[in-house]
Amino acid sequence: MSTQIPKQTEESTETDAKTEPASKGDERRAEKRRRAAERREQRQEEAAEKAADDESTVELKVFRYDPQIEGKQEPRFDTFHVPFTKGMTVLDALMYARDTYDSSLTFRHSCRQAVCGSDAMFVNGGQKLACKTQIAELDEPVRVEPLPHAEGRKDLVVDMEHFYDQMEAVEPYFQTNEFPDGELEEQRQDRENREKIKMSTRCIWCGACMSSCNIAAGDNEYLGPAAINKAYRFAMDDREGEEIKQKRLEIIEQEHGVWRCQTQFSCTEVCPKDIPLTEHIQELKREAVKNNLKFW
């Protein structure tokens, strides 16, 4: 399965398709697509009705807060009316509002294509990547707020430090004691194994999952779905070898590790990269139990 490939030829698409058979994540994507299509149809009908009312603008209600500016210290919602264009995303609308009405409207964004993970926000009550969320699929007015359970810094910007700390707490780097001999020798990995870790490597550190998880909200030390997923990515990589795997399991088994997860599935629902987070967490729990049973 592939996303856009800039310079590929016909053959390469084939190789790609062969290498990576449809996985669970892909199924989920298909499911989401279907749902989105249904929603879209519904919206289109509504949009038609609306057009009759001459409503080609979108109403955005945006959370505003700045601890340094008098008058903004008390959080409030500002309303912006943005002309709707086909294909407009929440990010497009925010940028329009900022560039047209209020240049102090603040939010993080960069790639506009769901790879940099900067713009996870709380849109109409759900964690979404603004750049990957079509306005046409949302009910109006569109309410945009910063991610819940993170410290608000200003407008839609939240403090990501805690999230980064959790990500970095799981030793998120490849380790092995089993290096191949030659400099140019690869550490071979079979296709199944690469396939197994494929979805877990897609995380873009957006923090949506962490924000959606009630356990993470209650227990600040809980590693959280993204960090556990990161640990999964390495623990399941055969190239690291058994010894390191033991160490990995110890990390995720810490008190605020996998056992905290209560399979809420919220993380899996909101992940913009369709990573089956709950599944990965559950698999690690089982690995850990198996591992411990050996010593009982």
Partner 1 sequence: MYEHDVVVVGAGGAGLRAAIAAQEAGADVAMVSKLHPVRSHTGAAEGGINAALRDADSWEDHAYDTMKGSDYLGDAPAVEALCRESPEEVIRLEHWGMPFSREDDGRVSQRPFGGLSFPRTTYAGAETGHQMLHTMYEQVVKRGITVYDEWHVMDLAVTDEDDPAERTCHGVVGYDIQSGEVSGFRANNGVILATGGMGQVFDHTTNAVANTGDGVAMAYRAGVPMEDMEFIQFHPTTLPSTGVLISEGVRGEGGILYNEDGERFLFERGYANNDGELASRDVVSRAELTEVNEGRGIEDEYVHLDMRHLGEERILDRLENILHLAEDFEGADGLTEPMPVKPGQHYAMGGIETNEHGETAIGGLYAAGECACASVHGANRLGGNALPELIVFGKRAGRHAAGEELGEAKIETGRSGDWQPADYEFGIEVGETGRPDTAAADGGAVAADAESVVGAAADRAQERVEELLSRDGRNHAEIRSKVQETMTANVNVFREEGRLEKTLADLRETREAYKDIAVSDPSRTFNTDLIHTIETRNILDVAEALTMGALAREEFRGAHWRKEHQERRGCARAWHLAPRPLP
Partner 2 sequence: MSQSYNRGLIEDFGRWREFEAGMWAWIFHKFTGWVLIGYLFTHIAVLSTGIPAAGATEAAVSAGNDVYTQTIVSLEGLLLVRVLEVGLLAVAVFHMLNGTRLLLTDLGIGLGAQDKSFYASLILTGAITVASVPTFIAGAF
Partner 3 sequence: MAERYSSFQKGGRMWLLQRVTAVFLLVVLAFHFFLLHFVHHADEVSFLASRGRMESLSYYSLMITFLVTATFHGVNGVYNALINQGLTGTKRTVIKWTLVAASVVLIVQGIRTANAWAGIGLY
Q: Which residues bind ligand SF4 (CB under 6 A)?
A: 203-209, 225-226, 229, 270-273, 275, 277
Binding mask 259-288 for partner 1 (x = CB under 8 A): ------------------------------
What's the half-sphere exposure (Cβ side, CA atoms, 13 Å) at 48? 5
Q: Is residue 262 close enough to count as binding ligand FES by CB under 6 A?
A: no
3 state DSSP class of 123: strand
Q: Is residue 16 close enough to count as binding partner 1 by CB under 8 A?
A: yes
Q: Which does 176 bind (CB under 5 to 8 A by kind): ligand FES, partner 3, partner 2, none?
A: none
| Vertex 89: Cα angle to 86 and 94 (nearest 5) | 120
Least distance (Å) from partner 2 to the CB of residue 205? Answer: 21
Q: Which does 262 bind (CB under 5 to 8 A by kind): ligand SF4, ligand FES, ligand HEM, none?
A: ligand HEM
Least distance (Å) from partner 3 to the CB of residue 254? Answer: 4
Least distance (Å) from ligand F3S to the CB of residue 217? Answer: 9
Q: Which two tokens stand for residue 230?
A: 């990161």
- Inter-residue contact 240 to 234 (CB < 8 Å): yes
127 CB-contact burial (10 Å; exposed 0-12 / middle 13-18 / buried 19+): buried
Restricted to residues 103-162, the positions that interact with partner 2 (CB under 8 A) are: 124-126, 148-149, 151-154, 159
Closest CA to 131 of 160, 109, 98: 109
3 state DSSP class of 153: strand
3 state DSSP class of 182: coil
Q: Which does 69 bind (CB under 5 to 8 A by kind): ligand FES, partner 1, ligand SF4, none?
A: partner 1
Of 20-28, 103-111, 151-159, 213-221, the segment contacting partner 3 by CB under 8 A is 213-221
Residue at token pair 């989401």: 32
> Considering beta carbons, is residue 118 or 166 the nearer one to ligand FES?
118
Distances (CA, A) of 199 to 31, 237, 238, 296: 16, 12, 16, 33
Restricted to residues 27-86, the positions that interact with partner 2 (CB under 8 A) are: 27-28, 65, 67-68, 73, 75
Q: How far is CA 97 from the centre of its chain?
A: 25
Number of chain positions touching ligand FES (CB under 6 A)? 12
Which residue type, as a one-letter code, is found at position 45?
A: E
- Tell me which DSSP letter residue 146 carries: P
Residues across the chain: 296
3 state DSSP class of 190: coil
Binding site for ligand FES (CB under 6 A): 109-112, 114-119, 129, 131
Interface with ligand F3S (CB under 6 A): 212-213, 215, 225, 261-267, 277-278, 281
